[in-house]
Chain A
Amino acid sequence: MWRFLSTRIAMGALTILATTVLVTLLIHAVPGDPVQIMYAQSQGTTPEQIEEVRRSLGLDRSIPVQYAMFMERLLQGDLGTTIRGGQPVLDVILQRLPNTLVLACSAMFIAIVIGIPIGFLAAYREGSLVDTGLMILAIAGISMPHFWLGLMLLFFFALELGWLPVSGNGPLNLILPALTLGLSNAAIFARLTRSSMIDVMHQDFVQTAYAKGLPKSLVLRRHVLRAGFLPVVTMMGLQFAFMMGGAIVVENIFSWNGVGRMAVEAIFQRDYPVIQGFILTFSVVVVVVAIGIDALYAVLDPRIRRA
């Protein structure tokens, strides 16, 4: 297990390291002069000031030196300051990150709670009308753009029915965005769970369990579910990353104050330090969650736990 986990952690570290490199290079890929673009709106900036910014971003140095500077600051927890408003990027991000995480986690929860039972039921009734119906529902769910689903939910539950609040970041406000993100992912989970469970149900060991005379419920609960759940767990890491990505859109629809909304604003404002910080944070979160889920997997699967 430790070997398994250590490679995962090493891989994660490599990913984050690569992110730092890409993030440093990012600003160079911008067509035109990034500093000019960033400061163009402030009428008072002097050429000296622009030079100063260039220096502080290290843009006057060679790329390796820039990278070294960037890393040095990064290791001190300094992600630079925002162009709009001149505040520490780290603060700006840390203030919003919890909101995004809460959203992604609740959506994950919804996806699991809805998707896995549906997938299980469909697998259990494989080939039946129930199965077909559920899977049509699932493929429709996957095909539905979540920004559209979000708008529809907003329209019905907030505007038409007035059941749920639409401003602010309270727990009630979480319902719609989490539902939007959760439902589309529930469809994915349902399909995954179904195929994984069907795989398992067709395996010899399930037949063996039946052959022992075990009642169906026990076979399903103890043998099918445990084994069939493992591939679903491995997918969760990827799915979480997907949630984080989806959060970017959903946050914008529901005015949820997370890093996704911040990122889109920053892109429009060409606030490169914020964009850099966002990319870095995003990949750290995704990597950490992926490692966590791998660890969970390692604990659940004896083939890895005992290796």
Chain B
Amino acid sequence: MSALLAVRDLSVTLRSGGEARMLAQDVSFDVARGQILSIVGESGSGKSMTAKALMGLLPPNATVSGEAWFRGANLLAKGSAPCRGTGIGLIFQEPMTALTPVLTIGTQLTEAMVVLGLADPAEARRRAIAMLDRVGIPAPDRRMRQYPHELSGGMRQRVMIAMMMLLEPEILIADEPTTALDVTVQAQILDLLRDIVRDTRIGLILITHDMGVVAETAQDVLVMKAGRTIEAGPVARIFTAPSAPYTRALLDAVPRLDRPGSSAGMVAGAAAGKTLLSAGHVSKTFHARAGLFASGLATRALDDVSLDIRQGETLALVGESGSGKSTLGRVITRLTDADHGAVTLGEENLLTLRGKSLRAARRKIQMIFQDPYASLDPRQRIGTSIAEPIAIHTTLSRAERQDRVGGLLARVGLTPEMAARYPHEFSGGQRQRIAIARALAAGPVLIVADEPTSALDVSIQAQILDLLADLKREEGLTMLFISHDLAVVRQIADRVAVMRQGRILELGPTEAVWTAARHPYTRALIDAAPVPDPTRPRGVRRPVSGDFAIGALREAALGHWVAT
């Protein structure tokens, strides 16, 4: 089968302020009809640049070289017209910003068809409605008149796909089309793309950083790093016998949802531990202030949530975006004030503390945040940042403080000399280590980690998770671990609480929840998560329906609670 698109030695050079940088270097690949080629690589590896080069959408200060043969012409040759739309379509990562906010869906769907002479307006409209229906958007008639902000993220991504498919391109490039979406929605979009490729026999280039997505969808893989091709080949071979060390590292770093994590062995011990902290009937409603007099919509971020955290365990909080995970963590750390409920640590109700006693109690619960860039005061040496809790709560001398900081830095895998540097002199992973060191400095009894790895690249993510696991094992650290990534959770947590819309739907030992999820929502969540194993059968998943039990928790098995 001959290739639809043949790319040879594509290089992109970006010139800015007198320096030239190679963003992509000698990238070559073929895409055939009905084929899904996946380009993977870490952030900044040049995946998007390659795609944009093919579309002729590079920034003005970028130059491209190489060849890309499509329909008998070289797309990269000087003066050649790009085959946008009817030849190659493009879908972006962020459905929120990929649609023009001030134009209706209908206009955006039909305009290109009309302008390119594929159909007259009426015909275009008819086709658009049909296509919306095809991509699974209910009530397409009505949608045509709506604006992007009136649609959910998943729907917008479907509109994007419909928009490109209406032009009947031969190749579709999808640049991280699901990264911004929840797992359940992501799965549906991936299914949709697969269906389209199967039905229309177009070629799909799927750009992603998620090996799970690759394994679930692609036939061939191209691994990129720093603009270069590291390895290319059929998905099965890449996953089973990667030849490049980088690919292997990438694969190793992926937490496997389908295998129990390393900490699973500790479940029994931790479960026996006594309760350290308990949250009871915590509720929190946010009122979005629309203005001076009009009070905006209320969001119930937490709705009568109760849970216990036991000494020495890692309790994971999972759920989709907006389900209230962070809010619960913030209520426990008193960064957000709850409307109702109690959080007791020992004898103390943390929620009623104020002033000095609150400040004194704070050291016992520390937080690690998602964004390591923002977690450290950019204008303080990291030594000062780490020493801050010590300075506040102890009367240690400067030298003693420095000693402690040195020890902490060593503990998280850095060197004491680094204390004199500023945050911007570190990489993301290092910064997260520093943030962990600072959290440890206070000598807390509980650490709340709010998605501490989701901003990091996979390879670094694994290191941080290992560090946390080490700390837990060696220091007996108790942790509330917040994540939307089920694979990560399975690797590190003793127990899991599944949240949705401010309520806990299921709570139980990690293994029990995984192997015998009792709540339909939990099951949908587990089903939807991509598994980095190309040999697994790729089934079509049903969307999660909104109607299921959200009532009080009932103990369905020993230590396994499910909403009724």
Contacts and interface: CB of A to CB of B under 8 A. Distances in A.
A and B touch in the complex (CB under 8 A): yes
A207 B103 contact: no
Contact of B86 (A7, A213, A218): A213
Nearest to A208: B98
Contact of A222 (B55, B111, B167): B111
Contacts of A32: none
Interface in A192-240: 203-215, 218, 222-223, 226-227, 230
A213 B167 contact: yes
Given A205-B99, A227-B100, 11 more contacts: A6-B291, A6-B293, A203-B97, A207-B52, A210-B84, A212-B112, A214-B115, A218-B115, A222-B111, A223-B103, A306-B150
A265 to B, nearest CB: 37
B94 interface: yes
Interface of A: 3-4, 6-8, 10-11, 14, 126-127, 203-215, 218, 222-223, 226-227, 230, 300-303, 306
Contacts of B99: 205, 208
B100 A7 contact: no
Closest 5 CB pairs of A and B: A213-B85, A7-B291, A211-B90, A212-B112, A213-B84
B292 A7 contact: yes
Contacts of A207: 52, 55, 57, 90, 92, 98
Contact of B164 (A212, A215, A230): A212
Contacts of A226: 100, 102-103
Given A7-B292, A14-B292, A213 B97 contact: no
Contacts of A3: 290-291, 294
B101 A211 contact: no
Nearest to B118: A213
Contacts of B83: 213
A103 B57 CA distance: 45
7 contacts: A204-B92, A204-B94, A210-B57, A211-B57, A226-B102, A227-B102, A306-B150
A214 B61 CA distance: 22
B103 to A, nearest CB: 7
B97 A205 contact: yes
Nearest to B92: A204
B112 A214 contact: yes
A208 B167 contact: no
B149 interface: yes
B105 to A, nearest CB: 11
A217 to B, nearest CB: 10
A205 B91 CA distance: 10
Contacts of B537: none
B89 interface: yes
B101 A303 contact: yes
Nearest to B173: A211
A8 B290 CA distance: 11
A235 to B, nearest CB: 17
B294 A209 contact: no
B101 A212 contact: no
Nearest to A301: B102
Contacts of A4: 290-291
A7 B290 CA distance: 8
Contact of A210 (B55, B116, B164, B293): B55
A306 B102 contact: no
Q: Which of A8, A218, A302 has the most CB of B within 10 A?
A: A302
Contacts of A215: 115
A7 B289 CA distance: 11
B160 interface: yes
B100 A223 contact: yes
Nearest to B85: A213
Contacts of A209: 100
Given A207-B57, A208-B90, A213-B167, A10 B292 contact: yes
